[in-house]
Structure 1
């Protein structure tokens, strides 16, 4: 199967925290010409979150910003390496999602601290908590599903130095769809910025608190969705939105072999494709969620079956759309789910 990256024009019509990894110290090129701290993020998701915390006090550069770029297969350029080498703070997703970052971090020789988002997930192997910088301890932890249809924490072990670098079998690396994890990531960004720029630490903390309030709003919307629709079934072509749907109390009806094959760009086994078709046609699935940035023959087939069965199709993305922030984007995704399920 070919996992094609959809062109930006095709997307125009689309609807709708642990330990900081590889910590170090900022190098001499960590500030720009105007004296602002330089922050480099693997994707615009983490770039936007950094901007929300740092505001005008920092310069943020995201390497992946286009819907036509796939972080799984992105090949870093010499320009990217130069950008990373000049960073004062680096933010990556980890878990094998943006492996190109690990390569350029190593080859650039940077000593900047690196925040690896997957390490802030409660499901990350060996993560027993969030250290001294816990997000609201009373907040309800969102269920954090693995890439399979179940929600078991993966059993895996790795040296901590490499924990954020490699794909971990059974772990869903798309943690930016888990608002609770992102609250911890944002808190660590504020902490690191405060360490690097102590004079403005209070501002970073205040900005984090504003951001965290936005996260609480999203979690509140998810709780309301869960109260009305817990146990209803969704089918996803890739595991990208599973943290969000699990937090909404929705059940993933997708055969694990289907979504894993689509994500890896492999052929879906014939028996699995037949099983997927039966599930969609059963009438039990309330909504089909697809990755708006990728597609393929098997994805097209289940979309066609869903439409024939009268099942609504939602398109979620892996990047923050133009004109949105992380918070408005996630809230829009939750609202789209709520609107669809209420029909």
Structure 2
């Protein structure tokens, strides 16, 4: 659990991102057979070694964000090579501006995973500018049935994570049917062994703390709270304003202060990558009132963590805070 607020908060402006001329020119000119990922992109197998040494087919995969990229890497094993565009914890996926290297990487991809729901509109622009030939695409928002304007943070929903795992595996088998049995085995291992601590924590928290009231700094926490059976008291209008980079209302801020001072919430959870003065003040007030405070982050932290390492650490922080608050 982090004990301090990082000094480099995200921007949070959900504005339409314009492409630089170099990136657009490259999209138009790079051959669709390119497969080389840019340096530092993090393309690797689950073992951390670039795929391709086995002599068989290797699917070139691009994930807009590294939380989906980590899952795609582990499900594909040595039959895939995954490049995640957003891999730096200091980068805001909302307002990211693609580079020429990103355009080249997407051009060479056979399979692209984007979050959608307005979260990574820049990725949609890359795909529409460079439709490719025979490329498969997964938009998580479309898969889980969340339309633009809904909560985009679907990697914090345990149920949606399971849906993505199913879909990625099915897509890998369709793209490379000769390795279907291999992908089935990767999925089984990932779900039953690799994700076991993650699944166990979710189950334990839900069984022990379901219905416990919590407060949060933004809407990133909402899908996780729902998955854990916790009751979010923070007004949705405040959560959305913080996620979208707009100013919360004075009425919402006053209500949250009152919830903290009257101890209506048992714990307070904030996104440490998006700490505004309002969030810092709320976390400080919660601590002063004896309410446990814990953090989550937008993307993998540290950047070289796996999805399950990252999520398990955060779930342990939430579980510890709930135990401290309730004595259970």
TM superposition score normalised by structure 1:
0.76
TM-fit CA distance, 1:328: 2.2
Contact 2:269/2:296 (<8 A) preserved? yes
Q: Equivalents in 2 of 1:266, 1:7: separation in Å?
A: 18
Q: Equivalents in 1 of 2:36, 2:241: separation in Å?
A: 43
| 2:197 is equivalent to residue 206 of structure 1 | no
Contact 2:32/2:107 (<8 A) preserved? no
Matched ranges for 1:15-164 at <5 A: 29=33, 31=35, 36-111=58-133, 112-121=135-144, 124=145
Contact 2:63/2:69 (<8 A) preserved? yes
Matched ranges for 1:1-343 at <5 A: 6-7=7-8, 29=33, 31=35, 36-111=58-133, 112-121=135-144, 124=145, 167-168=148-149, 171-213=150-192, 214-215=194-195, 217-322=197-302, 323-343=304-324
Q: Equivalents in 2 of 1:96, 1:296: separation in Å?
A: 22
Cα distance change of structure 1 residues 188 and 48 upon mapping to structure 2, 3 Å threshold: same
Q: Deviations over 1:158-182 (max 9, x none)?
A: xxxxx6xxx32xx211010112211
Q: Equivalents in 2 of 1:7, 1:298: separation in Å?
A: 15
TM-fit CA distance, 1:6: 4.6
Q: Equivalents in 1 of 2:74, 2:239: separation in Å?
A: 32
Q: Secondary structure at the match of 2:72?
A: helix
Q: Deviations over 1:176-196 (max 9, x none)?
A: 011221122112111111222
Q: Secondary structure at the match of 1:67?
A: coil
Q: Equivalents in 2 of 1:70, 1:5: separation in Å?
A: 14
Cα distance change of structure 1 residues 181 and 30 upon mapping to structure 2, 3 Å threshold: farther
TM superposition score normalised by structure 2:
0.79
Unmatched 5+ stretches in structure 1: 9-26, 126-162
Q: Deviations over 1:33-77 (max 9, x none)?
A: 956321000011011011101112211110001111111111112
TM-fit CA distance, 1:30: 6.7
Contact 1:258/1:276 (<8 A) preserved? no
Greater helix share, 1 or 2? 2
Q: Equivalents in 2 of 1:306, 1:234: separation in Å?
A: 11
Q: Equivalents in 2 of 1:172, 1:94: separation in Å?
A: 10
TM-fit CA distance, 1:230: 1.5
Contact 1:82/1:108 (<8 A) preserved? no
Q: Equivalents in 2 of 1:32, 1:267: separation in Å?
A: 42
